[in-house]
Structure 1
Amino acid sequence: MTTAQGTGVTLTEAAAAKAKALLDQEGATDLALRISVAPGGCAGLRYQLYFDDRSLDGDVSEVFGGVKLVVDRQSVPYLMGATIDFADTIEQQGFTIDNPNATGSCACGDSFN
């Protein structure tokens, strides 16, 4: 596991491998995995994790396992120390975000504060 110095976010090997597999499947070479924080949800803030071809002013990026991870400058303070992982178990499948900055979350786990 490698921590990105610029973004403050860690992308685990499992998450990087899954993101790379999805990008390779689409044949997309110009996309980055973007994580951001936006207002929303019952707890106040919601994560957005998606592939993006845009480059925004102030973006911070790091490369993990051939995948470019991008964080916009407004989201960096909210995501400092966060870990993005990929779970593939009976109980859970998909990308997960463990964020030490989140002081609480809603009952459904869709948003945080």
Structure 2
Amino acid sequence: MTTPDIKTDATGINLTPIAAGKVKALLEQEGRDDLRLRVAVQPGGCSGLRYQLFFDERELDGDIVKEFDGVEVVVDRMSAPYLAGATVDFADRIDAQGFTIDNPNAGGSCACGDSFH
């Protein structure tokens, strides 16, 4: 399912305007303008792979950088195939809170929702 107010790019990761706004607010709290949101996939969790979202100032060889409403999102070359077409959103509801990732490449997830395969 895609959010109607974002442009979906099947070759890379997407960031909703709500998520971009939250990232901007967090960066302002940090007081640094050299950080970008890095989204990565690492081995781990019940289902084999786990998402990592963190602020990073590093530039790694092969990084893919996209900009959304003034927010730079970085994906390393090893994680890129797992995140192609994925959408990062931010939820603040009773049933979900924090950043969420809707990933068409995930075949399934564990019961706790912390990892995927």
- Distance of 1:10 and 1:57 partners within structure 2: 21
2:28 is the alignment partner of 1:13: no
TM-superposed deviation, 1:9: 0.7
- Distance of 1:86 and 1:109 partners within structure 2: 16
Tell me which amino acid in the other structure corresponds to 1:70: V
Taking only the aligned residue pairs, the percentage that are identical comes to 67
Q: What is residue 44 of structure 2 aligned with on the other side?
A: 40
Q: What is residue 69 of structure 1 aligned with on the other side?
A: 73
Tell me which amino acid in the other structure corresponds to 2:84: M
2:108 is the alignment partner of 1:97: no
After TM superposition, the score normalised by the length of structure 1 is 0.94
Q: What is residue 7 of structure 2 aligned with on the other side?
A: 2
Tell me which amino acid in the other structure corresponds to 2:111: A
CA RMSD of aligned residues (A): 1.3
- What does 1:79-98 correspond to in 2, within 5 Å? 79-98=83-102
After TM superposition, the score normalised by the length of structure 2 is 0.91
Q: What is residue 52 of structure 1 aligned with on the other side?
A: 56
TM-superposed deviation, 1:4: 5.3
Q: What is residue 34 of structure 2 aligned with on the other side?
A: 30
Can you list the C-alpha shifts for 1:73-109, whole angstroms capped at 9, x where unaligned?
0011000010000001122210000000000111101
Q: What is residue 3 of structure 2 aligned with on the other side?
A: none
